[in-house]
């Protein structure tokens, strides 16, 4: 039986976040193995343009929350014996052989060299190939400016010309690994990623509002990305390319809180939901276990693009599994040790706490990402209110 809680304190957190201008709008949802037991929202879809209230049925760009969905497709292929995580990436996507390491600068010219070792599929899954994102790496900001190489958001294949920033297997560098992983999944499946995700994750789980391109009706139910403006939030409209060169396993999905919680519940239940199994129990266990060995997870990742993101401060005691950031210690008043989580660049966040038996997520679409007193604070207040209500 699904548990029941008094959600008034959680409602108050969401309303207060919108009222103080921390977020332009917000929706949140909490569930256990048996079903949803809290959902709420505050604010409107488009500040200054729409009076439509944001709810758990509203469409959001979930950005890097896409990563665990794409990773699940790779894990399914691994279970079926179709994908070898220990194999070099170039065995599946030959273009990987052209990727080099950014080894410094000769004036304004990037100095590139071959990687010390061949990167593996496992390293893609665990962000240990050396690939980064511009917003957390000054050298990549400089490289993109010097070479005209675009980042991944515009959806151009030229984004795959970006170099490594470390040798494979030497560091955790959060980056475009899952975009490359999506290409690996496509090569194994002989189908495009949108088809693989639909056939093996979203359709089996009944996630009918989760997709890479929204139809007209769902677009009318979509929030826009908001940025700070004079006196408050202003809509920046649609940022994602609606006709990209490839479907981005790292950031491309749209979803609703009600849809994505079904995916979270499947992870919470060991890979099964409503009689449909998408992963084996042992595979899910591996996803919630550190997969980066002795490589440390950074306690802080400084911003290289403040308009896009703040500095990430997680502190000690974190690691990375398969598609999930794992806390190795209880967070006082919040999630228990061994929980898996991640977030999306436009300020969405989820966690799955298998010890307490709950999963939850919170959504807005705004930039910059994780600003200390705005979205980041709202995440924390929501989580604390959830655990206080249990």
Active site residues: 64, 67, 174
71 contacts: CB under 8 Å, gap ≥ 6: 125, 178, 181, 287, 322, 323
> Residues 239, 233: contact at Cβ < 8 Å?
no
Question: Which phi-psi region, left, alpha or beta, contains residue 181 (left: φ > 0; alpha: ψ -120 to 50)?
Answer: alpha
Extract long-range pairs of 292-301: CB within 8 Å, 24+ residues apart: 292/126, 292/128, 292/172, 292/319, 292/320, 295/128, 295/169, 295/170, 295/171, 295/172, 296/172, 297/172, 297/325, 298/172, 301/136, 301/174
Closest CA to 101 of 155, 164, 153, 54: 164
Bond before 368 cis per omega within 30 degrees? yes
Q: Which of 385, 382, 390, 376 is nearest to 28 (CA)?
A: 382
């Amino acid at each position: 039986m699904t548990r029941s809680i008094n959600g008034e304190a959680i409602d108050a957190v969401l309303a207060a976040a919108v009222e103080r201008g921390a977020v332009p709008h917000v929706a949140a949802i909490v569930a256990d193995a048996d079903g949803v037991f809290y959902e709420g929202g505050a604010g409107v879809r488009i500040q200054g343009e729409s009076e439509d209230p944001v709810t758990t049925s509203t469409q959001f760009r979930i950005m890097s929350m896409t990563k665990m969905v794409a990773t699940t497709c790779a894990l399914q292929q691994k279970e079926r014996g179709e994908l070898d995580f220990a194999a070099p990436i170039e065995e599946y996507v030959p273009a990987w052989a052209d990727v080099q390491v950014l080894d410094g600068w000769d004036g304004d010219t990037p100095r590139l060299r071959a990687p010390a070792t061949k990167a593996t599929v496992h390293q893609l899954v665990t962000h240990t190939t050396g690939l980064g994102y511009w917003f957390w790496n000054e050298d990549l900001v400089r490289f993109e400016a010097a070479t005209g190489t675009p980042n991944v958001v515009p959806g151009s294949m030229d984004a795959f010309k970006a170099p490594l920033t470390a040798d494979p297997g030497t560091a955790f560098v959060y980056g475009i690994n899952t975009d490359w992983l999506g290409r690996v999944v496509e090569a194994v499946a002989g189908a495009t990623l949108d088809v693989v995700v639909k056939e093996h994750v979203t359709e089996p789980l009944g996630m009918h509002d989760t997709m890479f391109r929204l139809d007209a009706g769902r677009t009318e139910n979509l929030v826009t990305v908001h940025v700070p403006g004079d006196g408050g939030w202003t809509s920046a409209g649609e940022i994602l390319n609606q006709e990209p060169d490839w479907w981005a396993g790292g950031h491309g999905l749209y979803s609703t809180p009600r849809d994505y919680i079904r995916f979270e519940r499947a992870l919470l239940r060991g890979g099964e939901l409503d009689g449909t199994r998408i992963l084996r129990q042992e595979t899910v266990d591996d996803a919630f276990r550190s997969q980066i060995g002795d490589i440390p997870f950074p306690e802080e990742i400084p911003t290289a693009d403040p308009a896009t993101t703040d500095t990430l401060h997680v502190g000690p005691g974190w690691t990375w599994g398969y598609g999930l950031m794992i806390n190795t210690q209880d967070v006082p008043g919040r999630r228990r040790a061994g929980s898996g989580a991640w977030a999306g660049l436009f300020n969405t966040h989820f966690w799955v706490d298998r010890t307490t038996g709950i999963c939850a997520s919170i959504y807005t679409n705004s930039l910059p990402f994780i600003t200390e007193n705005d979205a980041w604070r709202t995440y924390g207040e929501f989580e604390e209110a959830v655990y206080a209500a249990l």
